Chains A and B, each alone.
Chain A
């Protein structure tokens, strides 16, 4: 079936640098995308979402980018901090997904080096 995947399973970044987490999706009919952060032993925490009619959405220190031409999502984290160390998931919703079901990618682990 349609799925969402990630290019890099682990990303190491120096504290203070910017991080970029990538995600490819295969369902061209997806209309809504969400990024989640999951810390060890906890549930996923909503970070930012972006609709298919947008190319970019800015949050506090985070930016979601969407390239529908190549079906690619990115999450940019500015000035990465130790507290940003976690696993990041992208999720997508098909345009006609029953129950607004989400399909999750496999996750990228971000490790922030001091």
Chain B
């Protein structure tokens, strides 16, 4: 089945620690996105990538980093500089083109120990 796989489902971070969230897609989509969702709120864009080896900051990129070395993978690192990392993180992908919906994985819930 084609889809987007995020792992792990739950992740705990200690103070001062960097953690990396995985996102893999087998939909052959060019574009990939990372969002943060806080309780009772909508989605806010962290980073996005339209093509391999290229990515752009979204609205809340501070304290996060990404890489896009392969078309199917777009890992997100939550660095120690992100002072409020507790949230639900969602990865999405889409085909290129003006009217292509984004499709989402089932998220990673990150908490602070």
Interface residues of chain A, those whose CB is within 8 Å of chain B, are: 31-32, 34, 36, 41-46, 49, 51, 89, 98-102, 104-107
Contacts and interface: CB of A to CB of B under 8 A. Distances in A.
Where chain A touches its partner, the secondary structure class is mixed
25 contacts: A31-B99, A34-B101, A34-B102, A42-B106, A43-B4, A43-B92, A44-B43, A44-B104, A46-B103, A89-B42, A89-B43, A99-B48, A99-B56, A100-B31, A100-B94, A100-B97, A100-B98, A101-B33, A101-B48, A105-B42, A106-B41, A106-B42, A107-B40, A107-B41, A107-B42
A34 B92 CA distance: 14
B90 interface: yes
B interface, how many residues as a size bin? Answer: 20 to 34
B104 A43 contact: yes
A107 to B, nearest CB: 6
A101 B43 contact: no
- Which of A41, A99, A101, A107 has the largest count of B CB atoms less than 10 A from its CB? A99
Interface string B64-107: 00000000000000000000000000101010111111111111
Contacts of A105: 42
Contacts of B56: 98-99
Contacts of B41: 106-107
A98 B90 CA distance: 20
A49 B90 contact: no
Contact of B102 (A42, A51, A102, A106): A102
Given A46-B103, A101-B45, 6 more contacts: A41-B107, A41-B109, A44-B43, A99-B56, A100-B97, A101-B58
